[in-house]
Structure 1
Amino acid sequence: MIETCQSVESIFQLLLSELKVSTTASEQHCRDVADRLLKEVTRICTESKRIQASGDPESWALTLAKHRLQQCLHYSKLGSRRGRVELHSTLSAVVYRYITPLQTQFSYQARLPLIEDFLQSFYMEALNAFRREAQLLPSYTPNAPLHLAEYMAFTERYAKRRIPLPGNRSQQLIILRAQTFSQQQPSETPVDIEQAAEGMSGEADGAWNAASMQQVREQMVAQEPEPVEDTLRYTVIAELISYLDERKQNDCADYFVLRLQDLPTSEIENILRLTPRQRDYLQQRFKYHLIRFALSHRWELVHQWLEADLDRNLGLTPQQWQAFQAQLDETQKVLLALKQQKLTDAAIAQAMGFTTTQIQKQWFKLLEQAWEIRNDFWEMQNR
């Protein structure tokens, strides 16, 4: 247990002061959140045998409290809409590989409705868990901005909880839920997309209140459409995972998912059961496939997301664009001009007298040159 009342009070005051300084929430809302974060941390420190055995539970409590505070402030700064987009994108990337429609092509578009349906149910489960663990009323709904940020931060932590499995293994809770959800999908019954969009599942939790779910959704999802960059980010993530899966690079996909969660290198090695040398090799292999994906397989999508498409001179400044064009040979200049006309690779190949494969290789080299110019400029700016 945390030894002294002074320690508990000091952590509470730290949480309260940071919430008051960093948010525009009312005094009472800040107190509510600080109190719930403190109770969560106290419970963890009390129940964890490892923390108790460390002999310094107070230090652990302070570290955990600061971590949870930063997560809450992160979502608070993003706001309800962008916070929801980031949470949804992060969790979608984690479960993407584990939700596979039965008797359906494992494509990005085929999985989207199932992922949406699954996550709506998971958000319900997370809210019920939040109510239960924070000892809130079954009717509690996080309407205030700070309360919503607290709920989203809790949902991310809840999703990433590691559940012990036989054989001294463990797995993230959301992955176990996704696997069960995927196995239970009847092959002959399509997912009701409209129902999923409304946030109601066919097997509604008895403790769940439809009205409260609607209130949460109204707070989490703004009426205006999501910004293009948010949609593109999610699409890039999903397509890259699909690209790796198609090439049987499952370990690279797993590594990518863990990287998306900002996990430290040591934890990634532990989860994937790799030595530092094996992890380094995997990282290099992932980098190779990432470059192939970004400069060849889906270059239009990636460059659009990076605001570096052809309409924006591949993300180069006017001076860089001139220097870039000056270093191209005649074949590359013709290729660039035809690409700017938005011709297909097949049409360009026919016009230039090359095979489609040769055109694609030439274009890969050309994009690589532009990429190097942008990277060199970025490195100079950040020295």
Structure 2
Amino acid sequence: MTQDTVATEWVEGLVDHWRSHLEAEHPTLRLAKRQSIVQWLLGDDVDRLLELDATYRRITAQSMEYRYRILCQRYLNKSPGKAYQNLIQRLGSLMVVRNKIRTWVALSRDRHRAVADVLQEVIQEMLNSDRYLQTSIAFIAQCTPEPTLRNALLLASIEEYCMRPIRNQPLLVYRFVNYLRRSQRGGMTQVPQAERIKMISDEISLDEGESSVSLFDTEAVSDYQAAQEWEEQQVTRQAVQQEFEDYLREHVEPLAVDWLRLYLQGNSQDAIAQDLQLPVKQIYRLREKVSYHAVKIFALKGRPELVANWLQVSIHDHNLGLTSSQWQRFWDELTPQQQQLVAKLKMSEPIEKIANDLNLKKSQVMSEWGKVYQKAQEQRIAD
């Protein structure tokens, strides 16, 4: 059997799988809607699927499952208003994004703006100028003529795009930075609340003597780089996820593997509890157990940051999952040596260098880090 034949059979099997899956999960949906969703899941370049190797086929299948779960959980069969509200709530729940927006609002002249208001403006700008989303809009229009389904598919596409991990941060963080660059350097004017923020200029001026730069051009480059990094990171994430699952199965319990898979698909703790038919409190305890092993134990394998970012408890971007007030209390309770350790870890210094600077053995550094991490988790649970 040739490679082309294998690839063709795989794509056909993928189509059959999603058709039967949609029919089983959503029997009340009209056939045309189900076919539109299948077309959306496959993407606008089906021929590219034929060129994928075994590793990328597995990643592609998982990406489709991830997008499908996003669609079903928050957007499919929801009214346009409710679906849009779900998108804002989901993106607003990202701690790193929420903290960046709150910091900017606190430093700006208009301190009465909410995180949701700023997010809406960022999303509106992305829809107006982001080439990937504009391509998605055009493709979704080809998938279905129904406005409600179009809306659901677009919102699911926006969430998946904004959540893509770029340099261990959601892509939305970089789009927020683009928004600030335009609104602050290009200038903006406040208009009635029913209106959007109006951008005066699409260009920014650099230092004196240099020509202006089009932000649309730099964003096109950014889109390409983001797509490339996303594909590369998916391969890495797949390998690390498999490695971490094996670790959890052997050293924690098989149920931890089920929790991790559901969590990485974007499910909330309540949804995971329903899927696993367990009390929510037990699910939260399981989450803390997985987080603890991810950072304290799995760190010895040299891959802690990726897993910590999955769980939104990384020390760099999420302050171990603590809010600003929690972090301050947590910091005040640390010993001077622990404060040095945390400061060096936030600067991404290697464990070996930290051990040398603090005149400790590597095992002692890891032991102290475990105590610090456990203290942070206790702070989270206490509040």
TM-score range, shorter chain: 0.3 to 0.5
The structure with higher relative contact order (CA 8 Å, sep 6+) is: 1
- Scaled by the length of structure 2, the TM-score of the pair is 0.45
- Scaled by the length of structure 1, the TM-score of the pair is 0.45
Task: Give the structure with higher Rg (CA).
Answer: 1
